[in-house]
Each structure stands twice: as structure tokens, then as C-alpha cells.
Amino acid sequence: MNRILSASSLLFLLLLTACGGGGGSSAPAPTPVPTPTWATGLAYTDPPAAGFRLVKNTSLSTPSRLVLDLTGPSGQNAQGLSFILAADATKVQWTTPPSASGLVQSLAFSLGTSTPALVGKDMGGGILQGAAFQKAGSQPLGQPLLRVCLDLKPGAVAVNSSISLLCTGGNLLSDTGSVASLTVAMGTCVAQ
């Protein structure tokens, strides 16, 4: 009987060895790192409709190009304004709005023909300086006044990433010739 037990024990050990030891001690397969999904568009939510604000121009914007109109408060007039806008330069870049000749397009101010007072300058690092002033008279502020445009940098922004937009400064030249500080409300921008 001992011989049968020894033979069956030996047979069991041989089978166990032939099957790889039966311990199941192989290392787990590594988890693959997901490839980032790059955004192809920009989604913008307008700020509340009060005061100076940047609102999306839905008819001119495309999935990867965001066209924004600087709109002012109703019931006031001015001769012009200046601003400094900042955007995340790793994700977007300032570009010329459709049908414009520079980075800032005047929509309301009468600039004249000899020396127009319109400025749009990319200062680098996502900073855009803009200004528009008319030489005589004033315009109502409760309308689109100036236009700017942002393009998404392709292959650089993950889907659902927030894109910071700020107004870091500005001035308003009122219809009476006084200068006041300008604050512009910005909406939220997300890469899609």
C-alpha cells in the first residue's frame, strides 16, 4: 500500500511540475496607459448680460475658432476704450477675426480715414492689447464694440481642459472726455 501511495504521490508531483507548478505566480500584465484624446474645438459660455463682457459670436465662430465680441452696457456712450486680455498660450492663440485686417476689429467706433486709432497687438505669452478711439463724437456702448478671435492649438489640449481667459486691465474714454477704469467680464472656455 505504501508503494501505491508513493507512486501516486510521485505521479501527482510530476503532473504538477508539468503544468507549471500550479502556483499561478505569473506577473500580471501591465495596464496600458491611455492615449490622450486631443480637443478639436472650443466651447464658450457667455458671462452674465451686464456691464462690459466678451460674448461669443455664434455666426462667425467655428469648432476650433472662437470669435468674441466686446459688448458694453446699455444707456452709456463713449469715444473709445482700451483693454489687455490674457489667454492660456499653451492652448490657444490670438488670431485675426474674419473680415478684419488686424487682431482687433472695430465694430462701432467711427475711426476716420486719415489715421485710424485702432490697435491690436500680440504681446506674446497669450497677452493681447487692443484699443479703438474715434476722434469726434461718441457711440452707444450697448452693442458689439470690438471683435477678437482665438484659435485652438491642434494636438496640444486634452479634451475637457479649461482654458483661462482674463481681462487684466483697460480704460474707457467717456463721451464727456473723462477716463475711467474698464473691467470686462469673461465667460468660461473649455476644450472639446
Whether residue 70 is contained in a domain is answered as yes
Give the pLDDT confidence score for residue 7 in this predicted structure. 46
- Could you tell me the three cell numbers for 52? 462690459
What is the bridge-based pairing of β-strands 139-140 and 92-95?
unpaired
- Could you tell me the three cell numbers for 102? 488686424
Whether residue 83 is contained in a domain is answered as yes
**Can you tell me the distance from the alpha carbon of 60 to that of 18, in angstroms, rounded to the nearest whole number?**
71
Whether residue 166 is contained in a domain is answered as yes
Whether residue 142 is contained in a domain is answered as yes
The residue segments making up the domain with residue 87 are: 48-191
pLDDT along the chain (192 residues), means of 10: 47 46 63 78 93 97 96 94 96 95 92 76 96 90 96 91 95 94 96 93
Q: Compute φ and ψ for 43, nearest 5 degrees.
A: -110, 130
Split into its structural domains, the chain has a count of: 1
Give the pLDDT confidence score for residue 58 in this predicted structure. 97
Domain containing 156 — which CATH number? 2.60.40.680
Give the pLDDT confidence score for residue 26 in this predicted structure. 66
What is the bridge-based pairing of β-strands 42-45 and 65-71?
unpaired
The owner of cell 473691467 is 183
Whether residue 101 is contained in a domain is answered as yes
Q: Dump the DSSP string for 2-25.
A: HHHHHHHHHHHHHHHHHTT-S---
Whether residue 90 is contained in a domain is answered as yes
Whether residue 150 is contained in a domain is answered as yes
**Can you tell me the distance from the alpha carbon of 52 to that of 62, in angstroms, rounded to the nearest whole number?**
24
**Can you tell me the distance from the alpha carbon of 104 to that of 68, in angstroms, rounded to the nearest whole number?**
10
Whether residue 136 is contained in a domain is answered as yes
